[in-house]
Chain A
């Protein structure tokens, strides 16, 4: 859904650099979810945030990955000291509440680590 905005669409980083992925949810949505899609795979849940709160980060790797959703501004997924295995598509979804029905996905950020 075009309402969830992710940028950049494509990001290339050298090994050891930091990657910052941004997600602006749909207007009125205060719940944000990050998913990762490895090549030839479905999406895997990473983290669920509400404004200023991390609700569930059970899908996040223990090291180098962090996420935030500040009171003002977009949600940020941050990957420090990237490695080749971090190359993937990262999708953000938003919903007006922890809804039972669909969450709307952004167009994704394709991270390539060289």
Chain B
């Protein structure tokens, strides 16, 4: 079974500053993927970034980067140069890589609400 923990229910960041959203995970699977999604107040789920457990380098997508520390089982999301439009809920998720039942299920954390202050 997989478990995702996001310990920050809410975060504030000043516009143009960088912010780190924490995510730790627990799994016994040797191979897995980690995902971050953004959910604005309008409700849709927007995929942001993906990291495979065997990827040598940390993933980056524009202003988003994933600080992946496999030994610590953490996959923190870093948003650089925050913008007002970044205010939203952010969810960390993971899925195992193996064939068989459950291998395609994403397990989500409870989310972190980010508020960007002008």
> Footprint of B on A, CB under 8 Å?
1, 31, 33, 35, 40-45, 48, 56, 58-59, 89, 91, 93, 98, 100-108, 110
Mark each residue of chain B from 72 to 103: 1 if its CB lies under 8 Å from any CB of chain A, else 0.
00000000000000000001010101000111
User: Can you list 11 A-B pairs, Cβ within 8 angstroms, ordered by A?
Assistant: A35-B106, A41-B111, A42-B110, A43-B91, A48-B104, A100-B95, A101-B33, A105-B45, A106-B44, A107-B42, A108-B45
Chain B residues whose CB sits within 8 angstroms of the CB of A42 once the complex forms: 4, 91, 93, 108-111
The answer to whether B118 has its CB under 8 Å from any CB of chain A is no
The answer to whether B12 has its CB under 8 Å from any CB of chain A is no
Given A1-B47, A110-B43, CB of A45 within 8 Å of CB of B106: yes
Chain A residues whose CB sits within 8 angstroms of the CB of B33 once the complex forms: 100-101
> Footprint of A on B, CB under 8 Å?
4, 33, 35, 37, 42-47, 50, 52, 91, 93, 95, 97, 101-111
Report whether A102 and B50 are in contact in the complex, using a CB–CB cutoff of 8 Å: yes
Q: Measured between alpha carbons, how far is A41 from B93 in the docked complex, in Å?
A: 13
Report whether A56 and B104 are in contact in the complex, using a CB–CB cutoff of 8 Å: yes
Closest B residue to A41 using CB positions: B110
Report whether A101 and B105 are in contact in the complex, using a CB–CB cutoff of 8 Å: no
Report whether A89 and B104 are in contact in the complex, using a CB–CB cutoff of 8 Å: no
